[in-house]
């Protein structure tokens, strides 16, 4: 049972693969000066890129944990999410209010997916 780690740094790997399961480290947006909709889109674009690199896609997400700074942004974030996740492929999901590592960040996601 081999564990494959990709883009490993001191504290984390961006992608870890084990037994056909892909674990992504927490993803945030590329530009934290934007509002919740753009931060969410950017964050999900990064998830798409990493899943493709790892051999998967958003139809194969098993679980997603979303960390959101302000629950008042929950419905705006969900609009973007609902348009991103293919109909009929919704993963198990949790969304929690959380403090962020940087004050300007509004959202972060952690994803577990199956390899294709």
pLDDT tens digits for range 68-93: 999 999 999 999 999 999 999 999 99
Structural domain of residue 56, as residue ranges? Answer: 3-114
Q: In which band, very low, low, confident or very high, does the pLDDT at 1 lie, cut at 50, 70 and 90?
A: confident
Asked if residue 104 has pLDDT above 80, the reply is: yes
With a CB cutoff of 8 Å and minimum separation 6, the contacts of 84 are 41, 44, 58
Report which of 73, 60, 62 is spatially closest to residue 100, judged by C-alpha positions.
Answer: 73
Per DSSP, helices labelled H in the chain are 36-54, 74-84
Verdict on whether the full-model pTM lies above 0.85: yes
State residue 88's pLDDT score.
97
CATH number of the domain within which 24 lies: 3.30.1330.40
In the chain, how many domains are there? 1
């Amino acid at each position: 049972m081999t564990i494959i780690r990709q883009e490993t740094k001191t504290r984390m790997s961006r992608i870890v693969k084990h037994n056909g399961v892909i674990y992504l480290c927490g993803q945030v947006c590329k530009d934290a000066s934007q509002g919740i909709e753009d931060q969410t889109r950017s964050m999900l674009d990064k998830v798409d890129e990493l899943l493709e690199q790892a051999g998967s896609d958003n139809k194969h997400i098993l679980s997603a944990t979303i960390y959101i700074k302000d629950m008042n942004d929950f419905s705006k974030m969900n609009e973007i999410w609902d348009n991103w996740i293919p109909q009929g492929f919704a993963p198990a999901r949790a969304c929690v209010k959380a403090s962020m590592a940087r004050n300007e960040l509004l959202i972060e996601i952690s994803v577990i997916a199956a390899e294709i």
